[in-house]
Amino acid sequence: MKTNPEILALEHAHAACKVHDEALGDALEDIGQWPITETQLDHLTKDQRRLLDQFAYRYTRLQDALGARLMPAALRALGEDIEIMPALDRFNRLEQLGWLPSADEWLELRRIRNEFAHDYPEMAKERFDQLQLALAAARRAREIFNFLGQKVLQRLAAAKR
């Protein structure tokens, strides 16, 4: 039996997200074992800096892969025509279908990620607050991936029957 291209794309998108999710989970676990303080952000060891870089990389990669690959692939696999559909409409449609808990929440997580990835506040307190927000948003992005991933796995299993 030949797998249709939409299901194959969904499978590949899910696998890519899974790699980023697992690495992000490792980074979050390691960061959780080290008490981060405002002062410490200005005096990081080489290993701590690498860990925060790993966190930032996997966090942005997971969120990008979810929004740009997995979510569109899920909609296509569900038979939705998304070619001219703006991203906001895609998120809303996924919410309507029960595949995304909240389109508004996803947009807020994207906003937090964009600020974290592109802004570098001068004040240590602002950097610390931004990092704390990003850590919480990354944990939530992983929860959303797990939620969406369960739907994807069910869809993939149904397609293979």
CATH code for position 57: 1.20.120
Using a cut of 0.85, tell me whether the model's pTM lies above it.
yes
Q: What is the extent of the structural domain holding 102?
A: 5-159
Tokens of 55: 């966190």
Number of domains in the chain: 1
Going 131 to 56 to 135 to 73, the CA torsion angle's sign is: positive
* Alpha-helical regions (H) of the chain: 5-32, 38-41, 46-65, 71-77, 87-96, 103-118, 124-159
Reading the chain (161 residues) residue by residue, the pLDDT tens digits are 457 899 999 999 999 999 999 999 999 999 998 878 888 888 888 999 899 999 999 999 999 999 999 999 999 999 999 999 999 999 999 999 999 999 999 999 999 999 888 877 677 788 889 999 999 999 999 999 999 999 999 988 888 77
